[in-house]
Amino acid sequence: MPAVSASGAADVSLRGETDAQRGHYTARMSRSSLPNRYQLAEFGALLAEPARAAMLLALMDGSARPAGELARTAGVGAATASAHLKRLLDGGLLAVHEQGRHRYYRLADDEVAARLEALALPRAPRVPRPAGSDPALCRARTCYRHLAGELGVAMCTAWLERGWLQSGSEGLRLQAPAVEALVGAGWEPDVAGRLLRLRGRGCIDWTERRLHVGGPLGVALTDAMLDAGWLRRASRSRALLPSADGLRRFTQLGVRLEP
């Protein structure tokens, strides 16, 4: 009998399940706070294939990419990439946007991105970041579409201490004093005011191992900071580069980075 690889064994075991169990596997991971055993098994099987993992990592910046680009990223052919993308779609990890004859794939939602980011956490409890990590990526980056890294954690910590962010049963909510401060730092009142209606979530940071602001609130804050020129995107990574004016504004809002 020919040998079966670890990823092949996972695929065979999944095919051997009943249709009813298969329904459990493909249920979206975000439907409940704790995945059932079938969801957890499927999540692990989906990530056990390096090509699928490479595709997911390429989409961690919040982008939507065509199948051909994801195939090149994963180092596989078009037919193999198509099969992998179907698995990821069926498993609820990806969503697809159709534009004319073109299909663009992206992560399904912020919850999927948070789970992927959490899997990258270093195991040793006292190691602040993995050896060899890109300093710019550790300093500030996108976690899916919200601000992470040293800057994201420093902002979350400072604003919680000031009472500008409050944590409750509905997640993280921005408070009126924060909106006033953002307007004072140059934001348009309507842009800052809309943040009061959004909920955020505490997302464990991959490198800092503390919370940064995720969810719709985190995305809106990051988008506004990019629009204001406080941050700009790096060309070849998920890093976000603070401008000199942005660093001054962050300091004005109580957010300080260690030198």
The pLDDT tens digits for 47-105 are: 889 999 889 988 887 778 899 999 999 999 999 999 999 999 998 899 998 888 889 99
Instruction: Inform me whether the pLDDT recorded for 32 exceeds 50.
Output: no
Instruction: Inform me whether the pLDDT recorded for 148 exceeds 80.
Output: yes
Contacts of 20 (CB under 8 A, 6+ apart): none
Instruction: Write down the mean pLDDT value for the chain.
Output: 81
What is the C-alpha separation between 196 and 176, in angstroms, rounded?
A: 7
Nearest alpha-carbon partner for 10 in 46, 37, 56:
46
Instruction: Inform me whether the pLDDT recorded for 131 exceeds 60.
Output: no
